[in-house]
Structure 1
Amino acid sequence: MNASIEARATRNLITFFTSKMLSSLGFTVFSFGISLYILSMTGSALSFATNMVFNVLPRAMAAPFAGYVADRFSKKRIVVLSMAGITLSVVVLIIYTYAFGMSVAAIYTITAIFSTIGAFNGVAFSSAIPSLVGKDRIQKALSFNQISYSIGGIGGPVIGGMLYGFVSMEVFLIAMASAYFVALILEASMDFTLFEEKKSTKKEKMLESMKQGMSYLKGKPIIKSLLWMNVWINFFSSAISVGLVFVLVQTLSMPSQNVGFIQAAGAIGMLIASVYLSVRSNMENPVPFIRRASTMVCLFLASLSLPLFFEMSMQNAVIIYICIMFCLSAMNICTNTPIGVFIQRSVEDRYRGRVFGLIETVSVGTGPIGALIFGALFDFIDARIIFISVAIILATLLWYYLGKVTKYQALEEAK
């Protein structure tokens, strides 16, 4: 690689990280303010949950179409236009709020718009990573992407907490619009064709193109196995997001500040693991690393039940859960990031949008389904039984699919 391309790839990587961090911070600050605003305005958990549905459902439904569009048209154009659409939507909401005041209906509408347009932005950006930074930098790019989300997850509530109660909702919206506008400028400056592979310009109807994407996946058993791993990890992660809060608040009667410390430990674990992977050398064969990390995920998941087996002080329970969540979140990143790298390297450029559109739909869709199922289970079944059972089932599934990946790798090497 010559020095000019090396410098442009490094610039793309830094710009990618900065734009993702700004958009993540902007959205997290906005989400924090909106969540408190809805609860204070309506006093209804149902209204809050309804906003979550508007955030998830449109994105899951739009992702397959976003995948087709990403494979059919310029990824840079899609990324820039979608970010411009999101920024403009915030500006329109600011004008509406000044003119008529904030309303729950307006919040639901803007959330649905963000979710739909965000699907196109997310799928196009994910499928463009190898073209932006090259296959040798995919691991670093995905780690940087996770670092940006971790910074948003940690810094967003802090900034939002400082602003809420002291400034108006319009200020939250202006902060979000500013972050997105700067991200838009950065994304427009990126070279999306630096490592782009030449592909056929043959025109296809959308339905036929999406069928070809599915057929491509069927012919790639390694990618299909990794996708199933992603499905089950997302599904069973709902047991953590739902069950942990339930146990801390209902079973152990922890004050909210202790719950916040435990959740912050998870965000810090994700951040440190992402930084580690960003500086670690590329894994030629990530399967052994994924196997070790996923095994640790299941062990730490089962260990969430440990404080429930023994009588202990509140302080000791908080310390134990902080340690568990730190390690569990770190190992989760060490599992998901290499899987993402593996998929990015294995999928051909002309199919990458459709594949990542499917991944987006699956990833976004399985979370709420899992939350509903585990939300019901924790009301009727002992949390200890659920945590241990989920850990055993998840470990069995992950080892099964990793075994299939290893077998298919051996068959490909033998050809």
Structure 2
Amino acid sequence: MKSANVTIAHDPYRALRFRDFRLLFISTFVATLGEQMLAISIGWELYDRTGSALALGGVGLAQIFPVMLLTLPAGYVADRFNRKRILLFTQLMLAICSLGLMVLSTLHSSFMLSYVCLFVMGCAMAFVSPASSALMAQTVPEQIFENAATWSSSSWQLAEVVGPALAGFLIAIFHGAALIYGLNAICALIFLSLLLFLRVKQQEIEVREQKTWSALGEGVAFLRQAQVLLAAITLDLFAVLLGGAITLLPIFAKDVLHTGPIGLGWLRVAPSLGAISVAAVLAHRPPFKRAGPTLLIAVAGFGLATIVFGLSHSLWLSLLALLLLGGFDTVSVVIRSTLLLTRTPERMRGRISAINSLFISASGQLGGFESGVIAQLFGPIVSVVSGGIGTILVVLLVCLLWPEIRHLRSLESSSPSDR
């Protein structure tokens, strides 16, 4: 007689079997592909026209300033209004701005007008991240969140690999960036069109009267009480802040590894290839049973891979270190993203996603600056190795400050109140 205990086979594609998630997955990939192409193209064109490194710095400033200024209010908006409509409006704004960049590029207009378009795009992107992160939770059941976060991460990483390569290829063929701006507008319109077919129920909206500042503060207060969430965000924040290997890749390629542009290209794409590979493995394995220890090991592994890269003088060893770095980072991203969905009440997901997005964006910008300053003072090797050591020390500190993370098992919400 057969045993009564029947083992249900793990389905690595279970999130993709939900129609609304497929639509969001495809539309996000297309939009991210366009954004990656745009990022390469605008930098290339402005530097080609001005020959100024300051002009390149202005690109990042024009986009990151509105994101840092508006992200927290955007999280509040995502919790109070229809997230699908927010994304529809922002994608329309992104498409209009991309078309504006195309016209400016074709007419060779003042490059200062390009910064205006980039600033408006930054304002729109501030609302995209919290709205899209929270909307994903409305497309699949809670038990599918981990699988959905894995596929979402792999989609972003794939776009980061394909986008820059495609942009460089098109710039070389057409000797300009105008076409790529138009393609980014088309990508935004495709995202918008696919969203129109999304059939998700309206999220829970709190009906009690509450001042805007109090509502914004409620998200911060909740995060302070959610120790596991706070620990996970802290780990990722400092890993991004201290892990400066990616920022200094051009220096390592030229002065340490003595490789050319092709070698630099492989170094740049290696973390994404590692991330995609690990994401595929995660999708085909059962849900995490020891999520907390796995997260700690992943962030510590990220720091160790950073140290190996900093000390390496071999191109192949450096590539291996970057592959591992990207893989460890994906494990961290999947666990953190799943925790943000499962441990945050539906009515607050926009605000918590906004806080997480703001921390990561700020740490990324500050981390690049910090790595550059230390590299200027003490050399690139000291900068990268010290960052890796610092990341490992942060893991040890988090273990002491938040012992809950060491005992975290399942990523599902621990109680109905967490849902």
Alignment TM-score > 0.5, same fold: yes
Query: Closer, same or farther in 2 for the Cα pair 1:111/1:202, shift >3 Å?
Result: same
Q: Which residue of 1 aligns with 2:143?
A: 136
Q: Which has the higher helix share?
A: 1
Residue 126 of structure 1, aligned match among 103, 125, 133: 133
Report the Cα offset of residue 405 of structure 1: 4.2
Q: Report percent identity of matched pairs.
A: 17
Report the Cα offset of residue 46 of structure 1: 1.1
The reply on whether 1:336 has 2:333 as its aligned counterpart is yes
How far apart are the structure 1 equivalents of 2:162 and 2:237?
28
Check whether the contact 1:63–1:361 (CA below 8 A) recurs between aligned residues. Answer: yes
Q: Which residue of 1 aligns with 2:93?
A: 85
What amino acid is aligned across from residue 141 of structure 1 in structure 2?
Answer: A
Check whether the contact 2:98–2:185 (CA below 8 A) recurs between aligned residues. Answer: yes
1:281-324 Cα shifts (integer Å, max 9, x gaps)? 2224411221222222122111113324xxxxxxxx22111111
Report the Cα offset of residue 404 of structure 1: 4.4
1:228-276 Cα shifts (integer Å, max 9, x gaps)? 1121112112x21223332222334321111111212222111112222
- TM-score relative to the length of structure 1: 0.88
How far apart are the structure 1 equivalents of 2:15 and 2:254?
50
What amino acid is aligned across from residue 86 of structure 2 in structure 1?
Answer: I
Unaligned runs of 5+ in 1: 1-5, 309-316
Unaligned runs of 5+ in 2: 1-13, 415-419
Alignment of 1:292-303 (within 5 A): 292-303=297-308
How far apart are the structure 2 equivalents of 1:296 and 1:225?
17
Report the Cα offset of residue 97 of structure 1: 5.0
How far apart are the structure 2 equivalents of 1:340 and 1:269?
19
How far apart are the structure 1 equivalents of 2:15 and 2:219?
34
How far apart are the structure 2 equivalents of 1:249 and 1:8?
42
Residue 319 of structure 2, aligned match among 302, 318, 322: 322
Query: Closer, same or farther in 2 for the Cα pair 1:304/1:93, shift >3 Å?
Result: closer
- TM-score relative to the length of structure 2: 0.88
Query: Closer, same or farther in 2 for the Cα pair 1:96/1:264, shift >3 Å?
Result: closer
What amino acid is aligned across from residue 123 of structure 2 in structure 1?
Answer: T
Check whether the contact 2:292–2:406 (CA below 8 A) recurs between aligned residues. Answer: no
Q: Which residue of 1 aligns with 2:250?
A: 245
Report the Cα offset of residue 389 of structure 1: 2.6
For the residue of structure 2 that corresponds to 1:305, the secondary structure is: helix
How far apart are the structure 1 equivalents of 2:15 and 2:297?
35
What amino acid is aligned across from residue 219 of structure 2 in structure 1?
Answer: G
The reply on whether 1:371 has 2:377 as its aligned counterpart is no
Q: Which residue of 2 aligns with 1:311?
A: none
Report the Cα offset of residue 9 of structure 1: 6.6
How far apart are the structure 2 equivalents of 1:161 and 1:226?
36
Report the Cα offset of residue 386 of structure 1: 3.3
Query: Closer, same or farther in 2 for the Cα pair 1:323/1:102, shift >3 Å?
Result: farther
What amino acid is aligned across from residue 72 of structure 1 in structure 2?
Answer: R
Q: Which residue of 1 aligns with 2:286?
A: 281
For the residue of structure 2 that corresponds to 1:242, the secondary structure is: coil
Alignment of 1:4-403 (within 5 A): 10-95=18-103, 97=105, 100-167=107-174, 168-193=176-201, 196=203, 198-237=204-243, 239-308=244-313, 317-403=314-400
How far apart are the structure 1 equivalents of 2:15 and 2:295?
31
Report the Cα offset of residue 73 of structure 1: 1.0
1:191-210 Cα shifts (integer Å, max 9, x gaps)? 3328x5x4531232211211
Alignment size in residue pairs:
397
Check whether the contact 2:236–2:360 (CA below 8 A) recurs between aligned residues. Answer: yes
How far apart are the structure 1 equivalents of 2:407 and 2:322?
36
Check whether the contact 2:79–2:351 (CA below 8 A) recurs between aligned residues. Answer: yes
1:4-43 Cα shifts (integer Å, max 9, x gaps)? xx99971122112111110111111222221211111011
